[in-house]
Amino acid sequence: MLKQHNQRQRGRSLLTLLFWIYIAVLLRITVFRESFSFDHLMENGNVNPELFTAYIPFLRGGFIGLFIYLFVGNIVWFIPLGGYLVWKHPKCSVLLATIIGFLLSLGIETSQYVFGVGVTELDDLVLNTAGTLIGAVFVRVVQRMSEKQLSR
């Protein structure tokens, strides 16, 4: 019994470590890029407030792979966040996890503008938030299915 508890604790610790590595990688690819610098704050930022218009040229030009990479990638990169939040904090609702994902994405998009390291896009905010929601719902559904299996 104690051995199972220790194994479970190690598994949880490993998942927490992987989560923080995931956050570090996420911030590295979105904010702390090669072009990151404090030298020209607020000078090079770009904003695209139009929803999904940046994807249209990719589709028209036949760059389906790039479209999928960008569109689906914005969703996929945030699925672990939603999943981890509801797994690690059982009282965390799907709504709260989604709000946290929205706020993290907003922070990333704002940082991209401030440091001029990418284009701040409304689509990224929407897709990242959707990814967080998908991750949170997925884990919550798996948890509920497991509870039903255990209660039988």
Distance between CA atoms of residues 80 and 15, nearest Å: 11
**Of residues 125 and 118, more confidently modeled:** 125
Residue 63 has pLDDT above 90, yes or no: yes
Q: What is the pLDDT of residues 15-46, one digit of tens each?
A: 999 999 999 999 999 999 988 988 888 888 89
Distance between CA atoms of residues 11 and 85, nearest Å: 16
Distance between CA atoms of residues 109 and 119, nearest Å: 8
CA distances from 93 to 9, 19, 83, 99, 148 (A): 23, 19, 11, 10, 19
Residue 3 has pLDDT above 80, yes or no: no
Domain that holds residue 132: 2-151
- Pick the range with the lowest mean pLDDT from 40-49, 70-79, 85-94, 98-107: 40-49
The predicted structure's pLDDT at residue 125? 97
The predicted structure's pLDDT at residue 2? 73
The predicted structure's pLDDT at residue 152? 73
Helix H or strand E segment including 48: strand 46-48
Backbone φ, ψ for residue 119 (5° rounding): -95, 125
Q: How many separate domains does the chain show?
A: 1
Q: What is the pTM of this model?
A: 0.91
Distance between CA atoms of residues 26 and 33, nearest Å: 11
The predicted structure's pLDDT at residue 82? 98
